[in-house]
Chain A
Amino acid sequence: MISDITMGQFFPGKSVVHRMDPRVKLCLTVFFIVMIFCAKNFVTMAITIAMCFAGIALSKVPMKLYMKSLKPILFIVAFTAILNLFYGTGEPLIAFGPVKITLNGILNSVMIAIRIVVLILISSILTFTTSPTQLTDAIERLLKPLGYLHIPVHEFAMMMTIALRFVPTLLEETEKIMAAQKARGADMESGGMIQRIRALIPVLIPLFVSAFRRAFDLATAMESRCYHGGDGRTKMKILKLGKIDLTTLISCVVFLGVFIVLNTVIPPIIR
């Protein structure tokens, strides 16, 4: 049940997107998220969505998984869309007393829904095709300049690597503890919200205790393997920009040019 969560999971593969430099992927993810929010008309929105689907197709990860990653946020999408529906300006199309729905409101809510969905899809491409280690590695390299300001970039990246490494382990453990408590008669499915949260306490306490024990063991293991911070450390996998990365970067620059032109030439949908 808990392991059903697909968001943030990595699916090993050999596709073009998998082989891309994680730094490039990370930057492009941010870039496209900014783009989808900058798109002011349906044309620019459509080409951004097209780029997003091109990425999905190239990743060779089954579409089903992307759909699965959307599932948990459908509620948020619906909620924001409905909320936006009532905040439009201009001539009301339908009005129930003080509540009025305008054309702008409808367009706005459609756009916000599309934006959130695309945002999730784009970040899913990143997490599906990039191993956690690669991802933290990319963050470490990209943030390296901050090291000169005495910000502990390496330590931060190491913390992320370990946190991501232990997510499945701790999820598995949570399920085991829940099963153990249920076997002892714990009731976790009935009752109101507060009662249910309270029922989680006997799960959380053992989980925390064991997490501390794990942390202690891990510290011993890391120290035994000569870990002494980021100084003088090398990497087995060196990030290198390849042909794929250059091609992608060039096409994205072209995309940016087209995007800017179209976004200014074609009038925005919402005035």
Chain B
Amino acid sequence: MSFIECRNLHFSYGEETGEVLHGIDLDIQKGEFVALLGHNGCGKSTMAKLFNGMLVPNSGTVKVDGIDTGIEDLQIDVRRRVGLVQQNPDNQMVAGIVEEDVAFGPENLGIEPEEIRRRVDNALKAVGMYEYREHAPHKLSGGQKQRVAIAGVIAMETDCIVLDEPTAMLDPRGRQEVMDTITYLNREKGITIILITHYMDEAVRADRVVVMDGGRILTDGDPRTVFSQVELLKRHHLDVPQATELIYRLNAAGCSIPGMPLDEAECLSALKTYIGL
């Protein structure tokens, strides 16, 4: 059984806006790092809220660890397993002090004070924000705030973290910090990550890329397989990583460079081999 099972999801926000998702089937395994890609309005943020039961599908089911998110009484159990980090770091902090904000989730779960203390300290250390535990959130940088928000989810000891465009409002440095934190949590702590993004360079770091377009899944696979389908992605006006784009264009212009590089280093070595350096 998969950790998250989506079966034939249909969803609409109301009559006027029409259906946003048209029959999505998706399985996510424990420990996976999945990037969910797509345009604005393709339904990826809706997916984020469906994963932890903030939204319930009109038809079809979402099961987290075997629990149906549609059952109201079990929604707390779903949210103990799947945490959500949103785009705007300012809008998801409840308390005026970093450590108290991180403690908010565990406090809601009714955990003993000593245990909360332990979890908060560990969570802040995991995201590298332990030294800032007594600071006020509004004095932190965007990347730091977003890491605190992630710590708030870790402290609940969820198995899975869904991040809905966590880097969209950050500068390049903050983006790097958040991406490093996410990768660390997946690789070292075994937390399942679902990263919703429209940055291709971030998607490349995942184990698996799911591309959505117009409320449907366009393609699904490991980054190399997905991004080698350059024509398909282009047809749906989606970008590919810059390195892939360069090689694709060179090949289209008559070169025959083998492989499908995903980042600068790979691209460089592919080019070096091609020109015989």
Residues of A within 8 A of B (CB): 10, 12, 131-133, 161-162, 164-165, 168-169, 172, 213-214, 217-218, 220-228, 232-238
Contacts and interface: CB of A to CB of B under 8 A. Distances in A.
Contact of B113 (A220, A224, A234): A234
B138 to A, nearest CB: 4
B166 to A, nearest CB: 13
Chain B, interface size: which category? 35 or more
A10 B86 CA distance: 28
Given A217-B88, A225-B83, A225-B153, A133 B112 contact: no
Interface in B133-154: 134, 136-138, 149, 152-153
Sorted from nearest, which 10 A-B pairs have the closest CB atoms? Answer: A221-B92, A217-B91, A236-B103, A225-B105, A224-B84, A236-B116, A226-B108, A168-B138, A232-B110, A165-B96
23 contacts: A10-B96, A10-B136, A133-B95, A165-B95, A165-B96, A168-B136, A214-B88, A214-B91, A221-B93, A221-B94, A221-B149, A225-B153, A225-B156, A226-B76, A228-B108, A234-B106, A234-B107, A234-B112, A235-B113, A236-B103, A236-B107, A236-B116, A236-B117
Given A220-B49, A227-B108, A238-B113, A165 B91 contact: no
A233 B103 CA distance: 11
A238 B115 CA distance: 13
A235 B107 contact: yes
A172 B100 CA distance: 22
A236 B86 contact: no
Contacts of A220: 49, 54, 84, 86, 92
A4 to B, nearest CB: 16
B80 interface: yes
A225 B103 CA distance: 10
B37 to A, nearest CB: 22
Most buried by A among B80, B83, B96, B106: B96
A223 B138 CA distance: 22
Interface string B231-248: 000000000000000000
Interface string B102-125: 011111111111001100100000
Most buried by B among A165, A172, A227, A237: A165
Given A162-B94, A168-B136, A218-B94, A226 B79 contact: yes
Contacts of B84: 220-221, 224
A225 B79 contact: yes
Given A172-B138, A236-B103, A222 B117 contact: no
Contacts of B105: 225-226
Contacts of A162: 94
Contacts of A223: 54, 79
Contacts of B103: 236-237
Contacts of B93: 165, 221
A226 B80 contact: yes
Contacts of B152: 225
Given A220-B54, A224-B54, A224-B79, A165 B108 contact: no
Contacts of A131: 96-97, 100
Contacts of A234: 106-107, 110-113, 116
A237 B156 contact: no
B153 to A, nearest CB: 7
Nearest to B119: A236
Nearest to A217: B91
A224 B53 CA distance: 9
